[in-house]
Amino acid sequence: MQHVRAYNARMNIDNLKLFHETAKLGSFAAVARQHDSDPSNVSRAIAQLEQQLGIRLFQRSTRKLSLTEAGSRFLARTEALLNELEQAVDEAQSFNHQPKGTIRLTASVSFGQTCLIPLLPEFRKRYPDLSLEMQFTDAVVDIVESGIDLACRLAPPSQADLVGTALFSTHYRVCVSPEYAHAHSEIKKPKDLEKHPCLVFTIPEYKSTWHFRKPQRKNQSVSIQSQISISNAIALKQCVLQGLGPALLPNWLVDKELDSGKLVRLFPEYECTATTYDTNVWLLYPSRHYLPHKTRVLIDFLKEKLG
């Protein structure tokens, strides 16, 4: 075929990667954001590839970017080749046991500050050739579109193009400050919370009902009223420390304060939750036929330290 003859060994591999990313994300702008570049640079790279092949890979319009029939065929035939090339480079670099490159990681602000930042000195010492780009946000980031290598989430993967592995189980505690506990000694059982304004997450499930259970007892659901709702868990914990009321917070966020006596746990004999009792912190990454070495070592490190 004429198109096949147009392909030669001098083809720019970077342009081929950009073509695959553009086909997946559907826009030059989305690919440019991943590379901190300008959409015009991506457009020029694709145009260069099209000129070299002698075919049009994309139909361009002001509102839509779609593959041509030739582009779809070229994508299908080169996908396995590109994956094999990336895997070969990754495996070759892994032989020195010092992974290189940049890892893009995302997590919630609270989890990142509480659990990930304290691990950075040891991770940098162990893997000095790895660079970390950490995006802490309480918004749900599209991992694939944003070019994220690894995400720490409080929910399992819900997309077919994501793979998830549980990092550790989470448990929730109803916490108050010692001063609040002393001033409200009448709070003795979960149902007593219905008479006290609580501090809550802005997530709807956390604002209305908390659930409690203990062995050989009937599960309880407690209606929650609140006058303060906050989207950030660290800020919510700060309000609890200031004696503003009870809050339902995860163990990884409050166990140090509970151990030191800065916080008091109400109803320690109960398990409690706002959603389900079986919850985890999950590590999510894009689905592909192999896991890059740099991502694998970060997953192993987090499981070693937090799992």
Q: 81-88: long-range contacts at Cβ-Cβ below 8 A with a sequence spacing of 24 or more?
A: 82/13, 82/16, 82/17, 82/20, 83/288, 83/289, 83/290, 85/13, 86/292, 87/289, 87/290
- Measured distance CA(139)–CA(115) in Å, rounded: 18
Return the minimum-mean-pLDDT range out of 121-130, 158-167, 260-269: 158-167
Contact 193, 246 (CB under 8 A): yes
- Measured distance CA(152)–CA(279) in Å, rounded: 13
Note the pLDDT of residue 54.
87
Judgement on whether residues 12 and 128 belong to the same structural domain of the protein: no
| Structural domain span for residue 88 | 2-94
Note the pLDDT of residue 93.
64
Judgement on whether residues 84 and 162 belong to the same structural domain of the protein: no
- Per-residue pLDDT at 206 exceeds 70: yes
Contact 117, 265 (CB under 8 A): no
- Measured distance CA(216)–CA(63) in Å, rounded: 60
Domain end point (choices 94, 117, 145): 94
- Per-residue pLDDT at 26 exceeds 90: no
pLDDT band of 95, cuts 50, 70, 90 = low
Judgement on whether residues 189 and 110 belong to the same structural domain of the protein: yes
For the full predicted model, state whether its pTM sits above 0.75: no
Judgement on whether residues 113 and 37 belong to the same structural domain of the protein: no
Note the pLDDT of residue 130.
93
Q: Tally the domains of the chain.
A: 2
